[in-house]
Amino acid sequence: MQKKKYNISVEATLEVIGGKWKCVILCHLTHGKKRTSELKRLMPNITQKMLTQQLRELEEDGVINRIVHNQIPPKVEYELSEYGRSLESILNSLCAWGENHLTKVYGDKFSVLEDSVLNEQLK
Amino acid sequence: MQKKKYNISVEATLEVIGGKWKCVILCHLTHGKKRTSELKRLMPNITQKMLTQQLRELEEDGVINRIVHNQIPPKVEYELSEYGRSLESILNSLCAWGENHLTKVYGDKFSVLEDSVLNEQLK
DNA sequence: CGGTATCCCTACAGATACTG
DNA sequence: CAGTATCTGTAGGGATACCG
């Protein structure tokens, strides 16, 4: 058997977006093309290693594009591929559900730090 | 700080449905109430320990209900809670995307084993 | 049948240092 | 800036046995 067996189709989805950071990365990319360093700032808790690793896997699965600008200093950008954009509505739903969930759990004042508050987080 | 900090709201969603088996369990429950043993048969690769653990966490987060029938032999059923049903459209989308993805990757004949083929899988 | 309790191990991820 | 390469540690999860 060369093909992996799945007992339910959602497992195939999870194989693509189920990594520890993949949904988060993809969500950020729904807001547009991002440089590596931007992603790192957007995810203060991810390590360089994990970031690269997860990006590679997402690229292999065809949901993101890696754009290398040949220049010094290096500049690499990532964006949702056309195929990856087929995940956009799911990603948006996931974000929306999370927001609503936080409101439900913590009340109106919950602590999602959007892109704005990143300055003081750079430990 | 008593509240966990999230850098993006999808992290809150992942906290609820991001466990290794949670999406799979929830997908099965979108098809209706299920007994513990049914779930185990639907997920041949999950261990009793993980199944119970994931079910407990889903229950704590309020997305599933645990229904205990006081009888011998014991009978316990799980179902999506009302709150959990707010995840249904996401779960369905995840399943649908996975099906489409498998078709894309493997062609029309892919190996998702739906509920039907479970007989010969009970190793 | 459904659920605990143990033991145990490895795969994943963190830290650090280095390269082009 | 972006990305490797090592080393290391730990906690997530497997196997097994047992309980109500």
Q: Which pLDDT score is estimated for A6?
A: 85
Q: Is residue A1 part of a domain?
A: no
| pLDDT on residue B105 | 87
Token reading at B13? 């969603």
- Facing residues of A75 across strands? A69
Q: How many domains is chain B built from?
A: 1
Q: Give me the domain span that covers residue A90.
A: 9-106
Domain membership of residue A2 (yes or no) is no
Domain CATH for A44:
1.10.10.10
Q: Do A7 and B89 touch (CB under 8 A)?
A: no
Cβ count near A24 (within 10 Å): 25
The integer distance in angstroms from the CA atom of A55 to the C1' atom of C20 is 20
Query: Which is more confidently placed, A100 or B6?
Result: A100
Q: Is residue B112 part of a domain?
A: no
Chain C nucleotides with an atom closer than 7 Å to a protein C-beta: 1-6, 12-17, 20
Residue B78 domain flag:
yes
Residue A120 lies in a domain: no
Q: What pLDDT is stored for residue B92 in this prediction?
A: 97
B20 vs B63, which has greater pLDDT?
B63
- Looking at the partner chain, which of B12, B23, B106 has a beta carbon nearest the beta carbon of A101? B12
Query: For residue B17, is it within any domain?
Result: yes
Q: How high is the mean pLDDT of chain A?
A: 86
> Are the C-beta atoms of B97 and B108 separated by less than 8 Å?
no
Residue B1 pLDDT greater than 90, yes or no: no
Single pTM value for the model: 0.86
Q: Considering the domain boundaries, does residue B1 fall inside one?
A: no
Per-residue pLDDT of chain A (123 residues; tens, 9 = 90+): 345 678 899 999 999 999 899 999 999 999 999 999 999 999 999 999 999 999 999 999 999 999 999 998 999 999 999 999 999 999 999 999 999 999 988 876 555 554 444 333 332
User: Where do the H-state alpha helices sit in chain B?
Assistant: 10-17, 22-30, 36-42, 48-60, 88-106
A39 occurs within a structural domain: yes
Q: Are A42 and B7 in contact (CB under 8 A)?
A: yes
Question: One-letter amino acid identity for A20?
Answer: K
Distance A66 CA to D7 C1' (A): 29
Q: What's the mean per-residue pLDDT of chain B?
A: 86
Q: Is the CB of A37 under 7 A from strand D?
A: yes
* CB pairs A-B closer than 8 Å: 136
* Nucleic strand C contact set for A 41-70 (CB, < 7 Å): 45-50
Nucleotide showing the shortest C1' distance to residue A66 CA:
D2
Q: What is the mean pLDDT of residues B34-62?
A: 95
Asked if the Cβ of residue B50 lies within 7 A of any atom of strand D, the reply is yes
Residue B120 has pLDDT above 70, yes or no: no
CA distance B24 to B39: 10
